[in-house]
Amino acid sequence: MPDTVKRASSSRPGPSARIWAARDSILFSLSTLLLLGGVLAASADANALATILWTSSAGIGLAYSTVTIGLAVRRRQPSVDVIAWLALVGALLVGEPVAGAVIAVMLFTGGVLEARASVRARRELSTLAARAPRVARRQNPHGIEEVPVDRVAIGDRLLVGAGEIVPVDGRLTDAGVFDESALSGEANPVDRPAGDDVRSGVVNAGSAVTMVATQRAAESTYAGVVRLVEQAQSATAPFVRLADRFAVGFVPLTLAVAGIAWAITGDPVRAVAVLVVATPCPLLLAAPIAIMSGLSRAARHGVILKGGSPLERLAAGRVLLFDKTGTLTRGRPALTAIITAGPEPADELLRLAASLDQASAHVLAATIVKAARDRGLSLTPATDVRERHGYGVEGTVGGRVVRLGKAAWTLDGPVQGWVRRARRRAALDGSLTVFLAVDGQPAGVLLLTDPLRPDAPRMMRTLRQSGIRRMVLVTGDRADIAESVGRIVGADAVYADRDPAEKLAIVQREQQEAPTIMVGDGVNDAPALAAAGVGVALAARGATASAEAADVVLTADRIDGLADAIMVARHSHRIARLAAGIGMGLSFAAMIPAAAGRLSPTAGAILQEIIDVAAIGIALTALLPTRTHTVRLPQADLAVATRLHAQHDAIRPLVEQIRVVADGLGAVPPDLASARRLVDQLDSDLLPHELAEEQQLLPILDRALGPDPTGALSRTHAEIEHQVRRLRRACDDLGEHPEPDELTDLRASLYGLYAILHLHNAQEEESAFSLMPTEAARRAG
């Protein structure tokens, strides 16, 4: 078992450790009983017994504060317990044992409240570590054997039963249903087909499935999450250290006020009263509680902050730097278009390509197979499969010889016009090309693009509103693609073609101007993440070097969790300062009547107890829900959005067909039959979908975001309907031998509709479908 998992699973405290962990509660209970016992004794005129009980309670507090001061001296750290120690000594010396007893209860009350708040605040993080997988069921020639998770090797075939935790990262050999809420926050079960990657730590919510291990336990997602959690729980916030320094600075002021009151009046009781009310517990307790509450709330949004220090720096960040691939984009190519070169329909070409790619280990093969399955195409097992490294793959699918790969290898003969058009389009769009030949004849080309995350633009606008003043895109990709993405998300500056050293230099330069936040997901981002004021890594696909170097880790495959984390950090930071400021302000105000003799040590101790509880109560409000970037859709609205998103994705091939038909009108003779069939499909498929979105999707957006975001979408729905009706009239007016200007107008209308639909679909994904949880959107697609 990996060390991190061992610690999470086997570090069960013994009796002595449990007693030590409960020391604050034990001491609080004992000091409270002694205080109350003294009150009862005094009410029964047993004053001697009351004095003994109160003195004992004060003595316990004095001994405890003496130990804490001694430990601080050994560590060469300042300690504000010196004020409480002086107050206890003074109370006993001036004959105010009841005040000493109240001070002792006050000390231990603060410890109990802090411990309980910390337990509550850490709950979401601790739950992750507590449920780490410990065993795996491995298949071998003799059956199933149960082995410790650290003995699982890459390539082992594992069985995961219903309700069991996936022990290591792997690839499914059967379709399955999984509860991934522990890692991603997604509440609904996730359907994953055979061939999908599955992460350790998720729960099998369906029937038993088999999988092949792709990582050892120590390198799997869950072990990485446990390491991140341990770092988060062991770190300390700078504000807490600042609180210590500020509170220690309060000591000379307190001693000065107490000394002046004693010197002027000659009454040591007044000095003791000043010491009692000056105890800076509000600052020392409220700040850590608010910070821990912020860590807890961030964890609920799928964000792990490695302690209070990153939370502080995240709240202070003013410059946001981000990588492109895998951060603003999905990091995985998606099929965006199919250009046909002959009579074969686009779906048939995709079916043949995906059937062949089922047997390929190429990085793009999974994308093509997924695209075919998303369209509901029936795949056929390929035979005689031969893969030529660096060129492509060929084989037989249903009796037809299929070749897939680079144009120079796939296509014979001179370069044809459609090949040049495909290459030009791919170059302009930043797409990859996969050419296809069937039975020795050129058949078409598949275009694949790394799409922009639909949640990215809205998140960037939210961060602007939250105080981020400058946004910088830093990427190793080429300039034209980087600048296109930068324009869409609203970047202030774009640095393209940068290697890791150059990224590091840019971060360091920006850090000199203002506090920085760097967001990335790859190994090449790790140096920049480590150098930034705070580094944020996307680790939804496993713990990488970027996650190890980062201060903040997004465990869900969504970039908009960053906006939630920043908003939570700033809210918690504001609450920490508010709680500490109010508490210390009240303590300072109480010093005045104490020095004037209007507040006895006993009354001062009771007042200080009230101030402590009030400050801690304010700090705990950091746990309460506040406005965040993520919008939670009601189940009914989510169901409607999921259905419409599935239709939205199903319409994509029809949208691409508009451009294909427009290109075909330039042939001699023009392909008018395809144009008429297309208009029929637009009437029967596209317009009903747009109407359904107008009637059902836009009201959901109105409820979630307010009416303003839906105005442009509604206007575009009307424009799409207008353009389709115009195309219908244009096709109806065409004769058998149309004039060139009629064809030009028809082609212009098709290209215009194609552009409108592309923009409209991007707007819907950004403003509407990005509100859906990641896995709900994936299932719909």
Positions marked catalytic:
323
Q: Which of 306, 275, 303, 273 is nearest to 549 (CA)?
A: 306
For the residues of 12-51, what is the DSSP string, one character each?
---HHHHHHHTHHHHHHHHHHHHHHHHHHHHHTT-HHHHH
716 to each of 297, 656, 679, how far by Cα in Å?
Answer: 38, 18, 18
Positions of E strands within 272-416: 303-305, 319-322, 334-340, 383-388, 392-397, 400-405
Report how many helices (DSSP H) and strands (DSSP E) the chain contains, helices first.
30, 22
Cα gap 128→119, rounded to integer Å: 14
Residue 312 — φ and ψ, nearest 5°?
-60, -45
Q: Which two tokens stand for residue 74?
A: 């050994």
* CB-count exposure of residue 595 (10 Å: 0-12, 13-18, 19+): buried
The edge-to-edge listing of strands for the beta sheet with 197-198 is 143-148, 135-140, 157-160, 209-213, 170-172, 197-198
Helix-strand-coil percent breakdown of the chain, rounded to 5? 60, 15, 25
Query: With helix as H, strand as E and coil as C, how does 521-547 read?
Result: CCHHHHHHHHHCCEEEEECCCCCCHHH
**Tokens found for residue 324:** 């492109």
Q: Quote the CA–CA distance of 497 and 479 in Å, as a whole number.
A: 7
For 9, 290, 301, 361, 575, the CA distances from 621, given in Å and listed in that order, are: 32, 8, 17, 52, 8
Round to whole Å and give the CA distance between 562 and 334.
Answer: 24
For strands 516-520 and 493-495, give the pairing. unpaired
The candidate with the shortest Cα–Cα distance to 164, out of 207, 211, 193, is 207
How many CA within 13 A on the CB side of residue 563? Answer: 20
DSSP assigned state of 164? P
3-state secondary structure labels for all residues of 277-297: HCCCHHHHHHHHHHHHHHHHH
Q: Which residues contact 623 (CB under 8 A, 6 or more apart)?
A: 120, 121, 293, 296, 297
**Angstrom distance (rounded) from CA 154 to CA 446:** 33
Dihedral of CA atoms 588, 593, 596, 601 in degrees, nearest 10, equals -90
Q: Which two tokens stand for residue 568?
A: 């939570």
Asked whether 393 and 386 are in contact (CB, 8 A), the reply is yes
Q: How far apart are CA 404 and CA 445, in angstroms?
A: 9
Beta strands in 592-665 (DSSP E): none
Residue pair 615/582 in contact (Cβ under 8 Å)? The answer is yes
- How far is residue 11's CA from residue 476's CA, in Å, rounded to a whole number? 44
